[in-house]
Chains A and B, each alone.
Chain A
Amino acid sequence: MKTQRTPWHTATLVVGWLVSFGALAISGMAAAANTSTADHSKFKELQKHFASGPEVTKACLTCHTEAAKQVHRTKHWTWEYLNPVTQQKVGKKTMVNNFCISAGPNLPACASCHVGYGWKDASFDFKSEVNVDCLVCHDTTGIYRKPAGLAGNPVTKRMELPPGSGKFVDPIDLTKIAQKVSKSSRDTCGVCHFYGGGGDAVKHGDLDSSMSAPDREVDVHMDATGLDFTCGTCHATSAHDVPGSRFAPTVKDEGMKRIRGKKDDSNPANCVACHGKRPHPIQQAKLNDHTSKIACETCHIPAFARGGPATKMFWDWSTAGKMNEKGKPFQKKDEDGHVIYDSKKGDFILAKNVIPEYMWFNGTVYYTLVSDKIDPTKVVQISRFEGSPTDGKSLIFPVKVFRGKQPYDAGNNTLVTPHTAGTDDAAYWNTFSWPKAIAAGMAVTGAPFSGKIGFVETEMRWPINHMVAPKENALACQQCHSDNGRLKGIQGIYMPGRDSSRYLDILGGGAAFFALLGVLGHGALRIFSKRKKGGN
């Protein structure tokens, strides 16, 4: 059959030819200048077409022979961590939260943030070196993507995603990306850590896309036109093991400033590691007295979600599943365009410039796991921060408290792990059936499910460490030292301006009175003796 060539056909052909020519020109050009000692585009191993992620890794490993073995030992790979203090086995693999609830039964979606390829179920080979995804941390082009639903794989051929949606995703050029790898950056870490919980700014509150190139007001250390720290500047990584996990945070660092070259196994990702324990100048010595009780973050991160994107503060799963008048799932937005209701997820409350809540914290966190019994008549603490004013290890620390309402097993009184993401019959976001979704999810988790479903209020705490403000924006004295100050709920400490004690007030007033009396008496004696001398 002969096709008639229209002017647009002709134009399209010419365009295609010229674009191809342009693309060839691009591929032949030198890589952008950087500080690396290697131009990866010159390596023969990377000068070929890659049809999958593992093929790229195989090429990387020809030179970086130990890299995959190192990654295998990290939490980024195992999604598991045995806390030596609490003896709890935590990590994304098994934990429950009050955002998207659980990764385990939703791996094809959640594994987009795993540093591996193909983790879709329990059959995943954790010993495979080629399953390690080098590009997700080392991409510099900003075009590397691992869409939800592909078990951590990138798109290598044009496909409809999600299946049946009518939306198509084009493949990414793995060769181009592999030839431009370099050190990790705010952007590569941010691909997952800025978007945790299902979207920009959702989870942490102090980590969102504004941190990819922040100004000084948002983060004085990462200020793109100032100090320009990357994540790795503080989370100084060795052998692919990134220090500074929220599973075992360092709150009260009793060490000294870290000295370059000195062997030091302490956690570098905290303020004291660089600033020491008396960071303020001598003129502000009183502030240094605060450091034994108050975390640096308390004064120097006056609010979180300061960069623009709003963070989620509340999530009510119990209202999910409503349909519009056409019987279809829908979303509702507020005047700022934030989604505040989604049939798939329920109701949300979002906020910007949020003042943290404060509590005594010593770095020990207990999590409510799916194996733990809960009391549904009370608010369930999914993460419980330990601390007290008297244990010698705690500081007053700022936290984001994320509140919500989520499904639980009303027969066994346990939290549940629903299967939400997917296109199968059990996926909640497909068929909106809690019984099916929870039964399927609990089967994956390997936990019993009674079939009875209720909704329970939950809270989760997140330490606030990022978005450090310039010193001129740190808290002023009266923001805490006042009747209704930020630390009004903190017990076990005497705070002038907030607290009063009759005996202490009498003692202080008396001391001031006698001091004044002394000054006046001394002055009177001086005047008297001067007159006496003058009289002589």
Chain B
Amino acid sequence: MKLHKPLVSAVMLCVLGAPFAANAADGDWKRGRVYYRMVCTVCHTTPAGGGKAIAPTSKTKAEWAAYLQADKHNKGKDSVKYYISKEYRAKVKATNKAAEKYADVPDDELMNDIKAFVIKGAKDGDSPAGCS
């Protein structure tokens, strides 16, 4: 039945996305911005990271919600959470000042900050944020 696919997708997106949006609203988007720009972007501008910066505007709010909810980084080879985790921050903090500065921020808190930033800066967000 044709109805099923879009309806189920929409329901799933909202069921997963609504609590996500609620959490994101609580995050500190400014702290998320610093981590995103100074940790995530560092790799995503290198050939190993795809060679091209991924801006918040590269996805819509729903796409960011789905992406972060799925938690599949690098086509599922690892997780987004790992790159936000204290474990990862400890690993790179000697060479990355943002990882050093936020070394002790709880994982969930920092994840919420990043969610808040990308949702706000998404293509259809309140304040679309490019990489310039």
- 0/1 interface trace, chain A 141-185, chain B, CB 8 Å (1 if under): 111000000000000000000000000000010000000000001
Query: Which of B44-52, B68-76, B77-85, B93-101 lines the interface with chain A?
Result: B93-101
Choice from A10, A18, A226 contacting B15 with Cβ under 8 Å = A18
Choice from A8, A22, A26, A142 contacting B14 with Cβ under 8 Å = A22
B37 in contact (CB, < 8 A):
yes
How many chain A residues sit at the interface, stated as a range, is: 35 or more
Contact sample, A vs B, 10 pairs, CB 8 Å cutoff: A14-B14, A15-B14, A19-B18, A22-B18, A33-B28, A141-B126, A200-B132, A213-B33, A216-B97, A226-B97
Taken together as a complex, chains A and B put the C-alpha atoms of A330 and B18 apart, in Å, by: 42
Q: Which residues of B sit under 8 angstroms from A309, Cβ to Cβ?
A: 132
Q: Which residues of B sit under 8 angstroms from A223, Cβ to Cβ?
A: 97
Q: Which residues of B from 1 to 46 have beta carbons under 8 Å from A?
A: 2-3, 6-7, 9-11, 13-15, 17-19, 21-22, 25-30, 33-34, 37-38
Contact B127 A29 (CB under 8 A): no
A493 in contact (CB, < 8 A):
no
Taken together as a complex, chains A and B put the C-alpha atoms of A32 and B25 apart, in Å, by: 8
Q: Which residues of B sit under 8 angstroms from A274, Cβ to Cβ?
A: none
A7 in contact (CB, < 8 A):
yes
Q: Which residues of B sit under 8 angstroms from A308, Cβ to Cβ?
A: 132
Q: Which residues of A sit under 8 angstroms from B15, Cβ to Cβ?
A: 18
Q: Which residues of A contact B (CB under 8 A)?
A: 7-8, 10-12, 14-15, 18-19, 21-23, 25-26, 29-30, 32-33, 141-143, 172, 185, 187, 200, 209, 212-213, 215-216, 223-226, 308-309
Taken together as a complex, chains A and B put the C-alpha atoms of A443 and B2 apart, in Å, by: 65
Choice from A7, A19, A22, A224 contacting B6 with Cβ under 8 Å = A7
Contact B17 A11 (CB under 8 A): no
Q: Which residues of B contact A (CB under 8 A)?
A: 2-3, 6-7, 9-11, 13-15, 17-19, 21-22, 25-30, 33-34, 37-38, 97-98, 100-101, 120, 126-127, 132
Choice from A14, A15, A25, A225 contacting B19 with Cβ under 8 Å = A25
Ordered nearest first, which 6 A-B pairs have the shortest CB separation?
Answer: A22-B18, A18-B14, A225-B97, A143-B126, A7-B3, A11-B10
Contact B7 A10 (CB under 8 A): yes
Contact A225 B7 (CB under 8 A): no
Taken together as a complex, chains A and B put the C-alpha atoms of A32 and B112 apart, in Å, by: 11
Contact A22 B19 (CB under 8 A): yes
Contact B30 A213 (CB under 8 A): yes
Contact A29 B100 (CB under 8 A): no
Contact A19 B2 (CB under 8 A): no
Known: A142-B126, A142-B127, A225-B101. A14 touches B7 (CB 8 A): yes
Complex: chain B residue closest to A172, CB-CB: B126
